[in-house]
Structure 1
Amino acid sequence: MHKIVVLCLVFLSMEAWGQKKYPITRFGAKAGMTFDNARAIQAAIDSATITGGAVIIPNGTFMTSTIYLKSNVTLQLDTEAILLGSRDRMAYAQTGPLALIVCKDQKNVKITGGGMINGQGRELVENTIRCLREGKLQDDEWLKKRPSEKNRPNLLYFENCTAVCIKGITLKDAASWVQLYKECTGVEVSKINVESNAYWNNDGIDIVDSKDVVIKESVFNSADDAICLKSENPALKCENVTVKNCVLRSSANGFKLGTGSFGGFKNIVVDSITVYDTYRSAIALEAVDGGAIEQVAVTNVRAYNTGNALFIRLGKRNRDGQYSTVNNILIEKLTAEIPATKPDIGYPQEGPLPKVPIHYLLPAVIAGIPGHTITNVQLKEIEIKYAGGYVKGDLSPVPENEAGYPEFTMFGDLPAWGLYVRHAAGIQVKDCKVTVQAADFRPALLFEDVKDLQLQRTRIPEKEVINASHAEAISISY
């Protein structure tokens, strides 16, 4: 009888523990920067997925190579826990997704807590280069520019997952994109802190062909686009995505749709974000691969010390007969301050200088291509302040550059300092104001090949002009 009671108590204790918490130290994990804990952490995950439970990374530093997160498992990092990515490139997976934490075809997964995941990106890239020189890895790009993204691990990689939650953690120094969510449904990213400018292509977060996504109350400081939505599959799109109450800094763009735009983007909401010290655009909406951008609302944006406030582009770099479309865009309550100096000077990875010399500050841009217009864009309650101060100079005709990489410098100098719109229809500019600290010889606003243009209570400096050529159905009210 005594033995039966003891066995029952042991069984109940193990069951209660197994359903709830799986500390990695019980599976042989050791703190420190030299012991690879991948096997121990994976054993904890494999056990937790059977009944559902939390794998605990306790306070301390635990180094690991690739681990695989599975269904019904929460990876919980205690407040002072650091999960440290291995510096050894050969310790990561040689096939399949390349990341520190991989989660593919799973559901109900979480990474939570107050701890940090640090990819040691600089050191990992240095080791990657050594491996390339020794012939352990192959890469067609690295001698021309740098090791390609296929050889640099992400921190987090989620693909075809359902019900994903990332909350409260810090993500630091990836060797490539920080976190990727590809073809996932039901993703919530909240209250995280991203500090990743260790190397190139350090996007803060990439959402690829995923739907029902919320990114909120988070801070992103990244060497590449801070928040980037992409569409890589012509049959899919990013849909029902909300970004709210976030702070963004980037040596590229703050919030961006594209550049990958094969399928498209629909029902995208951006609300209450701050963008600062950002080299390119605070807001960039770009469709250049045959996909569609439709039903996008961007409201309550504060941008300061950024190279460009707004860039909306319809281009064609895809070689088939499909053309992109951009339709039904609302930009409301945006304020921006555009300096004369390079906004990201002094950061570890600065944005590259434009391929063509830029002599003048560039305006907000809405640009389609001949025969394929951007349609139904509303700009409401916009205020952009420019440093200005440029005397009269020579301006070349603006190239179409249909297949060019989309960014606000792609046309070179532009013939307006406040807002430039070309190949567009159904443009409404209401309660908007642009100013310069010192005079600029170009007109404040310029519209080329624009139909159904409405300007309502639009304020420009006294004696400035609005230039419209080849424009039809223009309505101006003050």
Structure 2
Amino acid sequence: MKKFILSALAVLCAMQLGAKDYNASLFGIKSNGTTLNTSSIQKAIDYIHSEGGGRLVFYVGRYLTGSINLRSNVTIQLNEGAVLLGSTNPYDYPIDSSYCALVRAVKVDNVAITGKGVIDGQGREASYNLLDQIQKGIINDPAKYDRPDGSRRARTLYFRECKDVTIDGITLKNSGDWVQTYDQCDRLKINGITVDSKAYWNNDGLDIVDCRNTTVTNSFIDATDDGICLKSHSHEHMCENIEIRNCVARSSASGIKFGTVSAGGYKNIRIINNKVYDTFRSAFTIATPDGGVVENILVDSLYAYNVGNAIFLRIGNRWTKGSVGSIDGVTIRNMYCELSDGKPDAGYEYEGPVEDLPRNISPASIVGLKGYDIRNVKLENITIVTPGGGNPYYAKVGTSAKELDAIPEMADRYPEFSQFKELPAWGFYIRHAKDIAFDNVKFIAKNRDYRPAIVTDDVKGLSLADVTFEEPGAKKKQIHTYQTTNIQINK
């Protein structure tokens, strides 16, 4: 990873030293916020590319544009006060293309968007105008739940099969769909960006899809869908050699998530010193329902506040036709998490749904499939604080063999921590797993709960060292094991 960072910095410095600056006004690009500049900006990009590369510099102003395409060796430099403003006309975007976005880059190298300026997709207005055309019968779209298909709503950035990509310093706002997607890119560097995108549905803050040699650092993301999300759309590719460090994420879905689409998988991922808050679903999720392989994952120093769930690791079998994925080698350490006693994303313009009820507050969970264990998971120096207060008269699953056996597998369901409805533990539920180790893990329930803290089912190898529980007035046994072998408990 150090070699990759040094190499990326060298490439960036070489680009900057050799780059020529071109003022946007040189190409007749207007900064009045009303003139549509799509053709002028595209001409500028094409010209700079033909001249061997350089920077297209935008100064203070509002630059209205439809979809533009980056070319190799071109940097868009947005100086402070410059706003690249997305058109609200849906026909200014390739709405019948899988690459529908305001700024697109496909199979190009040495490209960047830098500076302290803003890209504002105006996604709400653009999506409403798209919906208007659908309702009038001009555009054929099923508009599920009265929402246009995501492939027709413009993302802010879409980079596909690019090398040496730098996104630095900018602010991204108000996307019509996922804010930024990087798909099968190599040597991707994202640093110091701000995402403020709560304009419409599916506003994932950052989607890294089957990328290699990637760093995401020092960034703030506030989005009405998953905050920082790694995906794998191709069975021939995977997310590999990725580091996410010193970031903050707020999300009306999951904070930091692997999945949901996970065809190839994830390998050698480091998530270091990040914060998550006001998150409707899990602070940290790994879901592989589509055959993907997950190996060598490290989460270190994750701090989560007012979230719906702490940790969710899940193997499923949704679209794989029998080719089931795997999770082998996950370490989560130095984590502090406080769960919400209400709806943690309350107040978002597009909140997550109230779903999968009745259930009491869900535990963290590691859930494989029968015959497909999640393997080699270590949790070290963890504190999980939950409201507790599970009420058996509202929802109840006990710890009898009959009740535990009745918890459904749900292999083909969309993987979410609440999918099982009620689970029999208030702290951690583990099922279909092998070689799970807890070391210095503290569970704190603020209110008495009818459930034990930890429940295991079909686990081969369980080590609990220095695991402690705080629950007001509780005198029950806090660890319940079922069909679990090779158990070591050290206080």
Q: TM-score range by the shorter chain?
A: over 0.9
1:282-321 correspondence to structure 2 within 5 Å = 282-321=283-322
1:63-462 correspondence to structure 2 within 5 Å = 63-96=64-97, 97-140=99-142, 142-354=143-355, 356-393=356-393, 394-395=396-397, 397-461=406-470
- Whether the 8 Å contact between 1:229 and 1:238 is mirrored in structure 2 is yes
1:398 shift after superposition: 1.9
Distance 2:19 2:382 in 1: 53
1:37 shift after superposition: 0.6
Distance 1:135 1:91 in 2: 18
What residue is the counterpart of 2:7 in the other structure? none
What residue is the counterpart of 1:12 in the other structure? none
Secondary structure, counterpart of 2:129 in structure 1 = helix
Distance 2:234 2:133 in 1: 32
Distance 1:371 1:318 in 2: 18
Matching residue's letter, 1:112? T
Matching residue's letter, 1:121? G
Distance 2:19 2:296 in 1: 43
What residue is the counterpart of 1:477 in the other structure? 490
Give unmatched runs, 5+ long, in structure 2.
Answer: 1-17, 398-402
Write the deviation string for residues 175-215 of structure 1: whole angstroms up to 9, x where unpaired: 00000101110000000000001111100011111100100
1:339 shift after superposition: 1.8
Distance 1:391 1:75 in 2: 56
1:32 shift after superposition: 2.3
- Whether the 8 Å contact between 1:160 and 1:182 is mirrored in structure 2 is yes
Distance 1:330 1:236 in 2: 23
Change (3 A) 1:94 1:447: closer
Scaled by the length of structure 2, the TM-score of the pair is 0.92
Matching residue's letter, 1:451? K
1:29-40 correspondence to structure 2 within 5 Å = 29-40=29-40
- Whether the 8 Å contact between 2:291 and 2:320 is mirrored in structure 1 is no
Distance 2:108 2:220 in 1: 27
Matching residue's letter, 1:454? S
Secondary structure, counterpart of 2:234 in structure 1 = coil
What residue is the counterpart of 1:44 in the other structure? 44
Matching residue's letter, 2:92? A
Distance 1:358 1:238 in 2: 36
1:95 shift after superposition: 4.4
1:438 shift after superposition: 1.0
Distance 1:362 1:148 in 2: 31
The alignment's C-alpha RMSD in Å is 1.3
Distance 2:465 2:450 in 1: 24
Matched, 1:466 2:479: yes
Range that drifts further, 211-220 or 30-39: 30-39
Secondary structure, counterpart of 1:440 in structure 2 = coil
1:23 shift after superposition: 1.4
- Whether the 8 Å contact between 2:96 and 2:152 is mirrored in structure 1 is no
1:449 shift after superposition: 0.4
Distance 1:338 1:287 in 2: 24
- Whether the 8 Å contact between 2:37 and 2:64 is mirrored in structure 1 is yes
Greater C-alpha radius of gyration: 1
1:143 shift after superposition: 4.8
What residue is the counterpart of 1:6 in the other structure? none
Change (3 A) 1:184 1:307: same
1:146 shift after superposition: 1.3
1:35 shift after superposition: 1.1
Give unmatched runs, 5+ long, in structure 1.
Answer: 1-17
Matching residue's letter, 2:422? D
Matching residue's letter, 1:138? N
Matching residue's letter, 1:281? S
- Whether the 8 Å contact between 1:121 and 1:173 is mirrored in structure 2 is yes
Scaled by the length of structure 1, the TM-score of the pair is 0.94
1:319 shift after superposition: 4.3
